[in-house]
Structure 1
Amino acid sequence: MNEYGFVRVTCAAIRTSVGNPTANCREIIGVLGQVADSDVVLFPELAVTGYTCGDLFGQVALLKAGIEGTLRIAEATRGREQLVVVGLPLPLTNSLYNAAVAISDGEVLGIVPKQFIPNYKEFYESRWFSSANGGEPKEVDFGGRTVPFGIDLLFRANRRLVVGIEICEDLWMPIPPSSVQAIAGATLLLNLSASNETIGKSQYRHDLVVGQSGRCIAAYAYSSAGPTESTTDLVFGGHCLLAENGRLLAESSRVGDGHPIRRDSYFITQDVDVEKLESDRRSTTSFDDCLKYVSPFRHVEFTLSSMMTGLKRFVTGTPFVPVEGPELHRRCAEIFGIQCAGLAKRIESLPKGTPLNLGISGGLDSTLALLVAVKTCDMLGLDRRTIQGTTMPGFGTTARTRNNALQLMEQLGIGNETIDISGLALKTFQELKHAPFGVDAGELDLESFRKALAEVPRERRHDLTFENVQARLRTFILMSKGFVIGTGDLSELALGWSTYNGDQMSMYNPNGSIPKTLVKFLVEYAAREEFEAGPVRETLLSIVGTTISPELLPASKGGEIEQSTEDVLGPYELHDFILFNAVRCGFAPEKILFLSGFAEFTKPYPRELIETTLKTFYRRFFTQQFKRSCLPDGPKVGSVSLSPRGDWRMPSDGDAHEWLRWANRG
């Protein structure tokens, strides 16, 4: 377990010798030798003896050998700060229990019996085993040592990780024991299983494991007996799964998955994020409301090593972007659907025939908003010319973006108009007696003013008034025409990369919870999937390939974009990575920096750039909250929203000191 709350978990299936604990324990110890760096290692149900022993479970020789073998396993863990859980038939007074034995550092920590014993169809467990109901002795003698026993045991490590254990059928019940364990504080749930393979069962098993991890806001580890169990009547798949809060982290091969059947011992290993689970539970304030249904649990303490190295876990560098694969089209359709549904309701509430005004810049955000508006009008049966697109070139507008804007409006069949704001901006500078970049506008005409601006060296082109006047003029023009559809995205909102009462404002913004990396992806996706090869696709792909810029500073003498947003702020890919982990997960900056070292970005980023971008994000995130405090309406689409009426309420005068301490230490 490391300082950031990651716990390394292994789920193993062993080569089983039915009725031979000596051979099985040798296999278990062999696996342990391969996963010495794991914090928790889970083996299948009754792995010590084999699940399919039948009436051999009534033989003293088997039961005695099982206990002796388990003690050998315990001895093999001596000196290792690791939790190992194995399945064992345990005789106690007049009963025999199907039990999970928790072991650490040479000692048996405690034993948890199975509560729900299946005795239907192919299962006959109650022929041999008793169901545990809480009335059992609280302690048992195991190898000459008294150890805790019962269904009320939780295992706690380093005063942080809490582990709950259930066995196979327990998960299939309406209220699995793991649900109660999670409510009582368990963040890692273990299931020792022997689940046979029948047609379609694997998918249901997968859904149970992933679903239970989501309901419990926990990590759920599942290890099942494999094909070397007896096949007299059944075949066991050796299915191992590891899920975290509704998401599958890892899955082993199994019998019937189309791959070669494995007859050796094998395992899967992944790092689960306990800190994230704790954060998710805290933010789900209804979670603790279930505590009234839970009886007290006993906690058994143990220690995990804090020397965990590396990270065995996939970390995406683009957490907002759908993963390529079968679900891609469905996910993109879902995103567009939510945006369109939100805008449609707002349009229906307007007087019939109200024009929908939209500023079209030839950039990504306005393009996505336009695609959503077009889809919405088509859905409502409205003429696309209800959308009144206006492109408003200024001093920084390039031929490429202007042409893209004009072509896209024409190709999509919306109303379009061009209003050059340069003259209005010059007049405003003159009225304000403002000299942009030191250029005295005075009595200059527009052409002379443009020429004077072109002579200003690039390093002197810093003037917020020059930029804000243009941004506010565009909003003034649009709002003077009527109802305005906004275009600003989630990443810009997080960074405050917008002009207050300028492009920050609209009557309804369908893009408000779409981060920049997702905007770019959706526009490219629409180009390739929604439009056939031709002019519209070409225009959209040209927009995708354009440098991201507000185009508020003068273009270069060659007519190229001079003002690159990412040159100023840092790559949007990094900002969106930080945004997701900071807001959605609640991670500290140090943990985000740690994760960035393992993240799969679309391209490599130097450590220095990541650190600089992280500092930029937090400084701007705090100082620019006032712009988010008065956002226009718009739908929540993904798991992160900064709407002050929804997910994010933050004081506009908050202090970022604690979030920047790591940088000051550096």
Structure 2
Amino acid sequence: MTERLLVALAQLDPTVGDVTGNLARARRARADAAALGADLVLLPELFLAGYPPEDLVLKPSFQAACMAATAELAEDTTDGGPAVLIGSPWKTETGLYNAVALLDQGRIASLRFKADLPNYGVFDEKRVFTPGDLAGPIAFRGLRVGTPICEDIWGADPVECIAETGGDILLVPNGSPYRRGVMDERFAVAVARVKESGLPLVYLNQVGGQDELVFDGASFVLDADGAMVRQMKAFREDMALQAFVKRDGRWAPEPGDLTVIEEGLAADYAACVLGLRDYVDKNRFPGVVLGLSGGIDSAIVAAMAVDALGPERVHAVMLPYRYTSSASLEDAAACATALGIRYDTVPIAEPVEGFVAALSPMFAGTDPGITEENLQSRARGVILMAISNKFGAMVVTTGNKSEMSVGYATLYGDMNGGYNPIKDLYKTEVYALARWRNQNRPAGSLGPSGEVIPTRIITKAPTAELRENQTDQDSLPPYDVLDDILECLVEKEMALADILAKGHDEATVKRIERLLYIAEYKRRQAAPGVKITAKNFGRDRRYPITNGFRDPGRKIEVPEAPVPVKPMTDVVDF
């Protein structure tokens, strides 16, 4: 006789802190799973709290709300429908845990606590949670289910414990955020655990945006040989019914759909769109407003905003001054037309000249310069914030990672805004994404197909247009050079000597390193934005503002030192 278990994989988008809403989503998922005939519903890590809850999870009333919601959902299972495996914080006398609960037959049938708490990059779980002990599988309807939680499969011990104590399958709830290359890393880690344990594995990941993090979903199922038998969608909610069948004493997953998921530029673009959409919607903004300058950065952000929210929720404003070229006016208008968004023009001459007049007694005898240029940017920032205050739309800011790295941005000016979808994209990557978007309409996009960013915006020299005939390269090296140096300094933390060995000019590298360090105070005041790279500004790269270190650009000899010896504990003191 063949035994069979049907597991509904609910790849959903929770909201951090919305316990009532997340409980309602779990109930809807269970109802959908029941209609499919499922025996069990699997939901992502800490689903009832939302992930990551950060220090919110330290609030006793929040802990109590999550645990009460778990009990409410458990009561639902008296109806004879599917059991539920769901993540929630769990407080006991011994600590606060990242838990997964099995809810069945009207009760909380079992709990397992996350053992391996990540404490690197964007993760701070050791700050808020207590590590659980290694635990064996949960008995459920004729089989033994192992439930390692996310980081628990990135090392061997938790899965080894499950295998050695009779586990049959691995159901792994995850809150794993997107960054380039992470999908391949997850797959490699999961295959390693399958090969070591001989157990089939379900990797169920959260989807959706949470502040700077975007969770890409892309859940999958592996058989006991490590072969992928199901691939779920990326960057979108999804539900799949996964069958497990017992033959010859072993449980095996039946083959399912292998969805083609986004990779490369398509994945980066999807992450930016999803992060912006969820930030706007979860914070209940009616839409967004942005300055559309006729340049590449504001154009790609406008396209992302339309793809995320639809053209009716995006408002573009051109804010021209005497240095704004006719080409920029034409290009901004053409971009707005191609995207189908509202487009207004608000000249800034009057407020800028008002500032200059007000300051002229104090500035008498000085030459005009960067201060006067920044007044233009700050006038634009004030106007955009006024529009936001009046109509409720959130200001989207448009600075790229190259600019934010070297401080090529104005505090309280073009840095104004609530969110920045391109914050973790270098300038060369912005250009690549613009060309890609003109050739592709992403899945789930609310924007039009075809050329949405006029070609001239992509091909002309970038400029802030704060003075006559200005271009970015007046004060910065070419972006391909700048971005390579920045990637070496930021993502790779390379020594200057190693960067110079790549062929870069020493004076240029040292200048860029200096600009990177002294702009830290600006970045601390920048809007949040989508994490794309291995090391974004904010959650990943946390440098001091006051920082006297400069790499000398030569190899530093490290002195040899004796290895510390642990003190003996059995020495008798005479």
* TM-score computed with the length of structure 2 as normaliser: 0.48
TM-score, scaled relative to structure 1: 0.41
Kindly name which structure, 1 or 2, has the bigger radius of gyration based on alpha carbons: 1
